[in-house]
Amino acid sequence: MNPIAKTLLGIGIAFIVLAVIWQLGGRWLSHLGRLPGDIAIKKDNFSFYFPVATSILISVALSLILWLMNYFRR
């Protein structure tokens, strides 16, 4: 099979999986920006938000997905 076709097929499958997770995990995904470890500072006229734990979780998930794609590509 053509490498471009394999890549497009993989991207399509990834989008389908993401859509299913989005549909079924809507309640779980709503907590994604408010995990323990995310920094939120609110003062009178100042607010600062830095999603440390959310960033780490997304990074680990994307790293695992890309590793699996590379593993099955061989």
Domain assignment of residue 10, given as a range: 1-30
Task: Identify any residues that bridge with 40 across adjacent strands, giving them in sequence order.
Answer: 49
Higher pLDDT, 72 or 40: 40
What is the dihedral angle through the alpha carbons of 15, 17, 18, 20, rounded to the nearest 10 degrees?
120
Mean pLDDT of 41-55: 91
* pLDDT for the residue 46: 94
Q: Residues 20-30: pLDDT tens digits?
A: 877 887 776 67
pLDDT at position 70 over 90:
no
Residues 38 and 18 in one domain: no
- Where residue 72 falls among pLDDT bands split at 50, 70, 90? confident
Residues 64 and 50 in one domain: yes
Q: Count how many domains the chain has.
A: 2
